[in-house]
Amino acid sequence: SAVISQKPSRDICQRGTSLTIQCQVDSQVTMMFWYRQQPGQSLTLIATANQGSEATYESGFVIDKFPISRPNLTFSTLTVSNMSPEDSSIYLCSGRQGGMNTEAFFGQGTRLTVV
Amino acid sequence: AQSVTQPDIHITVSEGASLELRCNYSYGATPYLFWYVQSPGQGLQLLLKYFSGDTLVQGIKGFEAEFKRSQSSFNLRKPSVHWSDAAEYFCAVGAQGGSEKLVFGKGTKLTVNP
């Protein structure tokens, strides 16, 4: 499967600021996704990043808080805006080549702490 | 809507012992099922997947899983656990309706005692 490079791997941010997380895939992928993993919890899908159009957000997540870009088939960014301590989580990007019978592969994650 | 249940939050086994991690799913059609492993501070790595065919699936690192439609289960097994298997394990199912997203269970944390 393809390899995703995600950065930064971790950051400590002040409340009220924003952080942009980048994911670069080493080959073109059909689908990209952004997940949040709160401490000791499972993965919750934030949104599907659509190439050349607005992302598709899951219930409970909004574009103003988590703007996403996907300018091409190998790159995506997630911004966590106006951060609060409740945003402290691991954020993971994922790619999938498309089709129900393909697996998803993941970046290493970004561990975000908001103080 | 599809869902995944991993009944065991935390399992402890001794090194060399056998392992079975449980996964039950709820899905209206033929599921696509996955097991992922997450080591501390790492992303998720695919262990194995089931799409169709043989219900016993072999994966990496000596893991296998068996799809049982009658029980809506996809349990992960390993005959002899190594200390390096200590990690968090997630079961996931492919979603309905043409969406490509995966739905994950809450995970099972595995501790291996020497």
> Are A30 and B100 in contact (CB < 8 Å)?
yes
> Across the interface, which of A99, A103, A109 has its CB nearest the CB of B49?
A103
> Across the interface, which of B51, B90, B104 has its CB nearest the CB of A101?
B51
Nearest CA-CA distance, residue A84 and chain B, Å: 22
CB-facing half-sphere around the CA of A83: CA atoms within 13 A: 19
Query: A-chain residues within 8 Å CB-CB of B92?
Result: 104
% pLDDT > 90, chain A: 79
pLDDT at residue A99, rounded to an integer: 67
Bridge partners of A33, per DSSP, are A48, A94
- Angle at the Cα of A39 (from B108 to A60), degrees rounded to 5? 105
Query: A-chain residues within 8 Å CB-CB of B8?
Result: none
With cut-offs at 50, 70 and 90, classify the pLDDT of residue B3.
confident
Give the tens place of pLDDT for each residue, A49-86: 988 889 999 999 999 999 999 999 999 999 999 999 99
% pLDDT > 70, chain B: 94
Contacts of B85 (CB under 8 A, 6+ apart): B19, B61, B78, B110, B112
The structure tokens 């799409």 sit at B51
Look up residue B14 and give its two tokens.
């001794």
Q: What mean pLDDT comes out for the span B63-79?
A: 96
Nearest CA-CA distance, residue B51 and chain A, Å: 6
Query: A-chain residues within 8 Å CB-CB of B47?
Result: none
pLDDT at residue B12, rounded to an integer: 97
What is the phi-psi region of residue B53: left when phi exceeds 0, alpha when psi lies from -120 to 50, beta otherwise?
left
DSSP structural state of residue A3:
-
> Are A104 and B41 in contact (CB < 8 Å)?
no
pLDDT at residue A97, rounded to an integer: 81
> Are A31 and B94 in contact (CB < 8 Å)?
no
Q: Nearest-CA residue of chain A relative to B100?
A: A100
> Across the interface, which of B43, B44, B101 has its CB nearest the CB of A48?
B101
Query: B-chain residues within 8 Å CB-CB of A42?
Result: 90, 104-107
**Does the pLDDT value for residue B46 go beyond 60?**
yes
pLDDT at residue B96, rounded to an integer: 54
With cut-offs at 50, 70 and 90, classify the pLDDT of residue B29.
confident
With cut-offs at 50, 70 and 90, classify the pLDDT of residue B95.
low
**Does the pLDDT value for residue B30 go beyond 80?**
no
pLDDT at residue B20, rounded to an integer: 98
> Are B34 and A48 in contact (CB < 8 Å)?
no
Q: Nearest-CA residue of chain B relative to A109?
A: B43
The structure tokens 């029980």 sit at B71
Distance between CA B28 and CA B52 in Å, rounded? 15
> Are B44 and A92 in contact (CB < 8 Å)?
yes
Distance between CA A106 and CA A60 in Å, rounded? 22
Give the tens place of pLDDT for each residue, A92-109: 999 988 666 678 899 999
